A and B are shown apart, each in its own frame.
Chain A
Amino acid sequence: MIQRLLPFLTLIALFVGLAIASPHFLTSTNLSSVVRQTAVINIMALGMTLIIISGGIDLSVGAILAMGGLLGAMAMERGASIPVGISIGIVTGMFWGLVNGFLTTRLKINPFIVTLGTLGIVRGLTLIISNGLPVHQLPADFSFLGEGTLFGVPFVLWILLVAAAAVHVMLEHTRLGRYAFAIGSNPDAAFYAGIPVAFHITSVYAIGGMLTGLAGMVEASRLMTGQPTAGQGYELQAIAAVVIGGGSLRGGEGSVIGTLVGAFIMGLLANGSDLLGISPYLQQAIIGGVIILAVTVDELRKRRLPA
């Protein structure tokens, strides 16, 4: 039990440690900035949690984030309202999620390969559409999404909490979530039980895509730019958050709480390094080490139990 709580305890220890080590840590400015920096990865990681639980993986989310943000921004630049712009970002993400799901289930290609391919395709198309140039002419109110405050808390935190609650309920209390666990745990047994496996895998990728599209709009709002090169490497951070939080790349394991904790551990590590003046190069190495450490601890916990 203690080991299951380990990521959570690590997060608390990190928080307390930083509060002691740096006088700048426990300021509302700093904490808000941690939340804002982590929110984008966090929202993506929620979708990644679903996908990884169902036994899949999505390497294309960074590219999808960029295209979602770009298309949403371009629409607003051409006069679309803010809600329409945000919807366009989300729908773009859903579309590519459906493509990933379709290729994985109908052509039965390994999702690692499929999404490695779509990563390239989506990134390439995004650069073509934008000519490689960012979109700057956005309505001023759009910045509220990423930088605004509601009830004294960054607005993105509310978005994150609502999205997390929705995904949590989906995982624990709906058929889709249950089937995701079953398919990830044993796809053959799920198929033999008469579950429409292909449909549910596709749905999971589509939901992951929508959340990524939303994250893309948050990112665009924070930068007030539709940036075709946004989100590079985010896929790995999202996967890392899921894995640190106890998700298994073999499928069938993972939770929303775990993923949130995983993402915040990485967020605090980055923030703490900044505050303590640790070089950003070393930061990367520290986070890499933490990923391996987290998974090792989790594996040891599982191995203690008989097969």
Chain B
Amino acid sequence: MLLELKSVRKRFGGVVALRNGNLSVRAGEVHLLMGENGAGKSTMMKIVAGMQARDGGEMLWQGQPVNFRSPAEAAANGIAMVHQESLLAPHLSVAENIFLGREERRPFGFVNRRKMQEAAARLIERHGFPLQADWQVGRLSPAGKQLVEICRAIQHGSSLLIFDEPTSSLSDAETAEVFKIVRTLRQRGTGVIYITHRLDELREVGDRVTVLRDGETVHTSDIAELTTDRLIQYMVGREVNAIYRREPLPPGDELLRLEGLSRRPLLQDINLQIRAGEIVGLAGLIGAGRTELCRLIFGLDEADSGQIFVSGRPVRIRSPRDAVREGIALVPEDRQKTGLATGLPLGVNITLASLPAVSRFGFILGRQEREVIARQMERLRVKAESPKQLAGRLSGGNQQKIVIAKWLARGAKVFLFDEPTRGIDVGAKVEVFEVMDRLARSGAGILMVSSELPELLQVADRILVMRQGRIVAELPGRTTQEEIMSYAALAGSVNASQESVQ
């Protein structure tokens, strides 16, 4: 046994993050760690990687009891972690980040830049990543940063590697490359712990699985012995309908129309129409221009030609303020960065975009504001102790609901959902879909960007496929993943994904 955790405990103030964490990882196996957000996966892994001290329980590393007091100590013992959120130095180059803390030295403490550059270039080359050793990390996309994190972890030649949702920001081609790396590591006898939310990934890379729920290890077995439904049951502790399918309804009036919208070279000649009650899916590889299109509609970037119509009226949208005024709402991919003020109460977040409606002469009317908050919390079934609870303390699914509630309170009609289920538990995903469905039923029009094709197929009434800044196909909602991919990934798409990384 490479690593063993026995009844590991960890609490933060009054909150128990881990009450009974058990895990055993063998050399040469890929061990999946699954569980909902807040189940304690990250806490457990941070303890293993020496980033946090445990309050109790035992940790054995190659049979010896250990107690790592810093990431450096864990690394010296051969444990490395690929972090979900980037822990890179943005102003340094790719090569410098890969070797951060382990620089190639010359005498008198000077750094051998050329040698590091070459070693990094070889590493990147070997795995075919769309990176250059001398690129500045701050300029990379989330996917590019993730690849640098992976390079850094494998470069150290560790005997245990922990991947924390490594593919959540990667395209399919990059994901495939990550899987290849994981398999290579396994062959070399390295132990791999792999945290993921994506059920489709587990059979592709995993040997065994451990499921955490509410800070407790509830199940460990070979993956082959476990059905997907059982796995979900272990994760959420109840039966969940994993297969959600929305019933489309007859679309109403046109809400949003784009005619010949361009922002060269990222977006070219975009035409689309969204009607009330519709959920329109937007598929495409990373770098195809989906997020860019959302940014354009929401006024974060300006078009260089073309026209946006809202409810048939031509409008000019030059800032989010203009977009919000026209009833357009963006539910961004990165909730914590652009969707929520996580340090403020959730109630404050809900009315953030609609304060003028609940205030007079600049003074906020407390009772009316509380009513709006209560109404939205009930409508979206937000699970929270009180409106005073900080938004950052909510689960991913509930945070997503707060973002949506903010726009509902504002009376938004057109919703742009950019990767609405990213970082959200399986159980909560269906709930997000249901919220989207209810929005559509109440007369909203939705544009849904997603890299998860199964989800698009479950939710969207029709699916637009983008490639290299253009909409190249419009498919019915009951199409297949293969059909979508055949349009999204024609020749040249590899270049597109490479452009996107820088």
Contact = CB atoms under 8 A, between A and B. Distances in A.
Interface of A: 173-176, 178-179, 181-182, 185-186, 188-196, 252-253, 304-307
Highest count of chain B CB atoms <10 Å: which of A176, A188, A196? A188
A256 B340 CA distance: 25
Contact of A186 (B320, B324, B340): B340
B211 interface: no
B298 to A, nearest CB: 8
Contacts of B341: 181-182, 185-186, 189-190, 252
Nearest to B366: A173
B343 A194 contact: no
Interface string B305-332: 0000000000000001101110000101
Contacts of A173: 363-364, 366
A182 B342 contact: no
Given A191-B320, A304-B12, 11 more contacts: A178-B348, A185-B343, A186-B341, A186-B342, A189-B339, A189-B341, A192-B298, A192-B339, A193-B324, A195-B352, A305-B393
Contact of B343 (A178, A191, A252): A252
Given A181-B344, A185-B344, A193-B353, A174 B13 contact: no
A167 to B, nearest CB: 14
Interface stretch (B102-110, B254-262, B354-362, B483-491): B354-362
B356 to A, nearest CB: 7
B154 to A, nearest CB: 27
A182 B351 CA distance: 11
Contacts of A252: 341, 343-344
A222 B401 CA distance: 55
A179 B355 CA distance: 9
Contacts of B363: 173-175
Interface of B: 12-13, 15, 17, 298, 320-321, 323-325, 330, 332, 337-344, 348, 352-353, 355-356, 359, 362-364, 366, 392-393, 406, 410
Contacts of B340: 186, 189
A174 B364 CA distance: 5
Nearest to B332: A192
Given A186-B343, A188-B337, A305-B15, A193 B406 contact: yes
Nearest to A306: B12
Q: Which of B17, B298, B363 has the most CB of A within 10 A?
A: B363
A280 B169 CA distance: 58
Given A186-B340, A304-B12, A306-B12, A194 B353 contact: yes
Contact of B362 (A176, A186, A304, A307): A176
Contact of A178 (B323, B337, B355): B355
A245 B271 CA distance: 55
B356 A192 contact: no
A242 B266 CA distance: 46
Nearest to B369: A178
Nearest to B356: A175
